[in-house]
Each structure stands twice: as C-alpha cells, then as structure tokens.
A and B are shown apart, each in its own frame.
Chain A
Amino acid sequence: MAKILLVEDNEMNRDMLSRRLERRGYSVVIAHDGEQGLLLACSEMPDLILMDISLPVMDGCEVTRRLKADKTTRHIPVIALTAHALVTDRVKALNAGCDDYDTKPVEFGRLSEKIHNWLLEKKAQ
C-alpha cells in the first residue's frame, strides 16, 4: 500500500483529499504547514508527496527545494498543487524541483491518474 504525504493548509481540502485518497486505497499522512511537511517527509518516507505551494510557515517551493537537496528524500516524487491561473506559481514550483503539478480546484480523476503514473514510474526505477 503506497503512502502519500499530503501537505495542505486548508482544512476542507485536506479532509476531502485525504478521504478520497484513502478510498482509493492509499495510506495518507497529513501535514498542516510546510515545516511539518518537511519533518514528516523525512520521518515517514512517503512514496509520493502532494504539495500545496502557498503554505504558512514555509512555502511549498522551499520545502521541495530542501527535500530535493537531501539525498534521502530526493527520490520522492513531489506533485505541486497550484492555483489554476497562476502560471508563475507553476514555473516557480517546477524550478524548485517539483516533479509535476496539478491545478486547484483538484480534478480528482486526473490527479489520481497522475499519482498512479508517478508511483508506477517510481516502482520501475
């Protein structure tokens, strides 16, 4: 069972996404802000991280940058969740080292497909 770390500050989004991911059979670890996300990523070693970009304490880009700088967490795929309209956010996220991105509001079918693909790819490595 794949473990997904969800870093999201909005309570409703967090609740909904985690429940829907669990329904798809993933085990979900939740972080409320960037700092917690970073800590949990290191301790839990998830198979994939869903990272909101605008986060309190430490934003998603910074967290991703640190994860990608660390040998032990570098391999974990990070999917950035960015506001749809802000192309700059997407560029920022990709520049920070995110492997992929999706827009909010989340199209769950598409997102779960992305997750699926990235997990397959990871397994292949």
Chain B
Amino acid sequence: MRLQNLSIRRKLILITMLTSSMALLLSSASFLIYDLVSFRHLLTQDLTTQAEIIGYNSAAAMAFKDEPAATATLSALTVKGDIVAAVLYSPDGKMFAEYFRNAKTLPAFVPSRSQERGYRFEGRYLEVWHDVTLNGELLGTLFLQSDMRQWSTRAKRYASICFVFVLISGFFAFLVSSKLQKVISGPIMHLEDIMRTVSANKNYEVRAVKSYADEIGSLIDGFNTMLSDIQQRDTALRGANDELKTRTQELEGEISHRKQAQEDLLKAKHVAEEASRAKSTFLANMSHELRTPLNAIIGYSEMLEEEAQESATGESVQDLQKIKSAGKHLLALINDVLDLSKIEAGKMSLHLETFEVSGMIEEIVTTLEPAIKKNSNTLRVRLADDVGTMRADITKVRQILFNLLSNACKFTDHGTISVDVDQSTEEGLDWLRFRVTDTGIGISTKQRENLFQEFAQADTSIARKYGGTGLGLAITHRFVQLMKGRIGVESQLGEGSTFTVHVPAQVTLETVGPIQAEGNSEAFDAVSEIKIDRDTILVIDDDFAVRELMSRFLGKLGFNVLTVASGEEGLRLAKQVRPVLITLDVVMPTCDGWSVLSKLKADSELSKIPVIMVTIVDNEARGLALGASNYLIKPVDRERLAVLIEKHRITRVASITGTNAVPMSRRAHDPKHREVEAEVAERFNGENLTSRR
C-alpha cells in the first residue's frame, strides 16, 4: 500500500512519529557529536600533559644517556591502559627508549625517527610529539600513541543510550499521537461516515456533528449546508414529480375523454354523412318523382295551347299558358332547390375550361333576347379591349350572368340594361369584372341585407307580381363563391341597380378548395366520368417558340390549348384538366419527357390519355415502349400532327362517352353542343326563355 493511500489516522500517526523521531535523532546526534568532540579534545590535553610529565621525568635520563632509566620511566605508562606506545628519540632522531603495551603492534605504528611536533590523529590513534628539554637544551623527543579506548567506549555507550531513548520516546510519541490524531481524523471519519450513509441510503436528513470550529468544522458546516440544499431540492423535486404524476394522470384522463369525444364526433359525423347521403338520394328521387307528373302537365298544356291556337279559342289559350308557366315555374324551383342542395352537400364541382368571354356574352344575349323585349327594354353590351379569354366553369359563369340579366329584365320596364366587362389586376391575380346595370325598380337598403339569402326575395309581393323562386341570387352568389370570386350590389330605390361580379380570370381547382368535397353518392354527378375536357390539348415543352407555334396551330384547329414549360407542371395540369391529348417534349430541365411519360402511364386516371411525343431526340422505340401513342421528330409535320390528333380525339371521346364522336368540321351544328345552352335556359326562373335557335 502506498503511503498516500493510507488512512488519515495512520498518516497522522506516521507523520507525528517521523517528525518527533527525526527531531530526537537530530538533537541526540548533535549532543553526541559535541560531547565526543569535546572529549577528544580533553583526551588530547590529557595526553599532552602526560607527555610533558613523562618528558620532564625522562629529561635527566636523556641527559645522561641512561637508557634503562628512560625505559623505566616509560614503563610507568602501563597504568595508562589507553597508551599503546611511547618512544623517546635522541636529538639525532634515533630511538632512545621505547614502551609498547603490546609488542606486536610496534612495526606498524611507530615511526622510526622523530619527525613532527604537536599532536595528530592517525586512524584510530592519537599521537603526540613532545620535545624533552632541560634548562632550555633540547635533549630529545617523546612520542606517545593512544588508542583512544575511552573515547570509543564512551561513543558506543552514548549511541546505545540514544537508541534506547529514541525507541522509548518513539513509543510515547506513538501513544500520544494515537490519542491526539483523533482530534483531526475523528471529525473527518465522522464526515466520511455520514457521507457514506447519505450516498448509500439517499437519506438527506442526517447531519454531520461539528466538534470544533476549525477548518474541518467549516468543512462540516459546508457539507451540512449542501445536504440541506440537496434535501430541499429533493423535496421540491419529489413534489414536482408528484405533481407531474398527477398532471399526467389528469392528462391521460383528458386524452381518453377527448378520444371518447372524438369517437362520438366521428360517429355523429358518420350519422350526419349518412343523413346527408340519404337526403341527397331522397332529393334526387323526389325530383324524379316530381318531374314525371310535371312532364305531363307542361306537355299537355303546351299541346292544348297549340290546339287552341289552331282553333282560335283565345281565352283558353291564355289559361293554358298560365298552367304551363306555373308548371315551368315549379320546374325551375325544383331545379334551383336541387342546385342549392348540391352546393350545400359540397357536390357541386367545377368543370374548368378556357373560353372566349365575348362569345359567351353573345350567346347569353341571344338567349335572353325574348326576355329583354318582353318589357320593352334596351340592352347595351360593353366589352373592354383587353378582355380576351378566361378559364372557369363556363356553365356556371353563364348562369351567373344569366340570372343577373334576367332579374334586370324582370324588374325593369321601358328601361336600359347594360352589361360591362373589363379586366383588372389585384394582388398579382387577373380578375374579370362583370357589371349588370338596370334602370329598374331598385332595391332598398333593408332589402339588400338578405338579397343573397335563399328564399329571400326583396318583398313577398314581388313573388306575386314578378314571379321567381327567390333562389336565383342565392345560387348566383354560391357559384361566384365556388370560383373564389365576389359579388356586390349598389342600388337606388326607383332608379335602378348595379350588380358587380369579380371572378378570377384563371380559376383553378386549388382555389376552389374544400368545396370539392368527396362524395360517395352517385345521385348527382359522376365526376370522374365526365370530367374529361374533350377540347383541350396539353402541350408540354420547355421551348417558348414551340409552345407558341403549337398553341397557334392547334388553336386554329379549334382546340383549347394549354401550354406548360415543365414536366412537373404538365403532370399537375393533366390531372386537373384531363386533356383529350398531350404532346410531350423529351429534353427538358428537371423532369424529362421520358419520366413524365412513365408517370402519366403509371397513373390509372391519366394512362388513357394519348401522348404524342414531339421531340428532336430520335428514339421512337423507347417512346413507344414507354406507352407513347405516336412519335414525331421536330420540325413537326403539321398535317401529320393534325391527322393524328383528330384520330385520337375521336377514339378518345368515343371511349369515354360511348358515342361516335362527331368530326371537328361538323361540331358546329351538333345538337349535343347546343344542349348546354338550352339547359341553362331551362334552369332559368322566368318563362319562355328557352333558346330555339
């Protein structure tokens, strides 16, 4: 175990003991050294003194060259156990007399002649040289050698004492430090204990006990503060957790409650949808049931009217006309109610096509001619120069104008009715504005409030005087809304009214939005079957010049031409418009012709639309393999294109409707084409307005 990893207690004891032992050792050593040094000095003095005494005693013997006497004097040193050797040298340096405690040591330690004066330490020995004089005359030199036996004995004894002393004091130091270390280690161990308890049990309520006001004391204070902080947070956290749990439970409750509500709503919705379907079916059936007897009433009264006119019974002609007009009024009512219920059920869909505004106005005017003449009114039509084509549901636009104009005719006598059409741009969108102005009876402010509400004719007396269902303006209003347009009215009672309708010049199905609701009921419109625009060709080409040329050329052939510059846009429009045919370029940025063709053919709704590739890329095999009907290489042979288009159109229309499509050249007098106008007339609220061109 490394020293650093020892417990605090052991560390403290160890440190205390090491420190005290070191101090003790150092002080003992210094005393020892001091004592030994001074003792050696004492020994030196002592030996020097002895040398002086022996020198003095042996001076006479030296003077008289009495060697035995000198030897006897030296022999007196036997009592001095530490003197190893003593030698007297004659002035010429020769050994005169000597003494050795142990004869064996002689050759090694004793110099053969006198050399020096004073003392010196030679190894373990102290040597002293002393001149022997008598009355100032040098007689010889004395050499003493001591083995300092006393000194080493003393040193050994001192060292032993020191050792024992250190041992004893170490033991006491251990005892004391063992007791005293608790002052420091005790609180730390306590703190550690508490910490262990806290981390093991997560019990933040325990507190460490502070024993002293020292650093550890403040450490314990800090620890306790931290503990109480944690405890507070823990409590708060627990509280928050509990609250969260409660909230979660509440939320779960709320969710299940809402789910229940949602299910209830869904059920209610299904019930409502079912009811709506039932209503639609009921209306369709009812209208059929109502029409059958009406058919007979109108038919027989018309027939009788003809007969009466032939037999010239004037009175009954008028009565029969009244029966017939009442029947037609009833029919108009049924049609209007049906229209409204369709709008309300979200089943009224838009069939968009591009058409000439002027042509449409002309048709309406022709159809309305009898109504205009009826009250001896004059009609003025003003078309602004910039009004060209618009893209909208022509039937609905026609009916909007038809309703407004026939109302104007109805409520104006010997006056002027005018139609103004112009174009404007608002917020980046082109709008067409239709204004229908009359000089008729006008509408009061109060009457204007409910003008566009169902069954709200301006006045009940009006119904009696002028007829009408009171639904015309409501339907007009709904149709305008359906095309995301707006309608407004200005009027002065007795002076006339002006109805203004704004319709986007390019109505799109997106702008129609949720009104295009899904419908499962087949009672009304089979949208998917009749949606195909028989006269529209979609041209997909990124080259502006090609689009222009195709547009002009196909336009001359009598088609509506839609041109787009990109494959994506082409796909989108194809879905929306369902053109009778598509011409497609291959080399285009982003989405090339091949992928457009694949996507068209992969879409079950679009796969039947014939696609003629018109491109500079010579890869007919690939085009036909991907499902193209024909492959033309630019520059295009126009005659061939015309023949192909006509061929596809006939096959296509025939496959959609099951009829033999009438070739282009004969369409002008096609009875089917006039049916639309006649239908509008039939829906009109007034009488005798049916086109009989």
**A residues at B contact (CB < 8 Å):** 10, 12-13, 16-17, 19-20, 23, 83-88, 91, 94-100, 102-110, 113-114, 117-118
Contact = CB atoms under 8 A, between A and B. Distances in A.
A100 B669 CA distance: 13
Interface in B190-247: none
Contacts of B588: none
Nearest to A19: B303
Nearest to A102: B675
B331 A105 contact: yes
B287 A84 contact: yes
27 contacts: A10-B292, A12-B295, A12-B299, A16-B299, A23-B303, A84-B291, A85-B284, A85-B524, A87-B530, A88-B522, A88-B525, A88-B526, A91-B657, A95-B658, A98-B659, A99-B659, A99-B660, A100-B671, A103-B679, A103-B682, A104-B291, A105-B292, A105-B296, A105-B299, A109-B690, A109-B692, A110-B675
B672 A100 contact: yes
Contacts of A91: 526, 529-530, 657
Contacts of B672: 100
B345 interface: no
A95 B656 CA distance: 7
Interface in B269-322: 284, 287-288, 291-296, 298-300, 302-303, 306
Contacts of B658: 94-98
Nearest to A83: B288
Contacts of B294: 105
Interface in B354-381: none
Given A12-B296, A85-B287, A97-B658, A107 B525 contact: no
B338 A85 contact: yes
A10 B675 CA distance: 24
A91 B529 CA distance: 7
Interface string B505-529: 0000000000000000011111001
Contacts of B325: none
A14 to B, nearest CB: 10
Interface in B640-693: 657-660, 669, 671-672, 675, 678-679, 682, 690, 692
B335 interface: yes
B678 A107 contact: yes
Contact of A20 (B303, B523, B530, B669): B303
A96 B658 CA distance: 6
Contacts of B296: 10, 12-13, 16, 105
A12 B657 CA distance: 31
Contacts of B525: 87-88
A104 B292 contact: yes
Given A108-B299, A108-B302, 4 more contacts: A85-B523, A98-B659, A99-B659, A118-B671
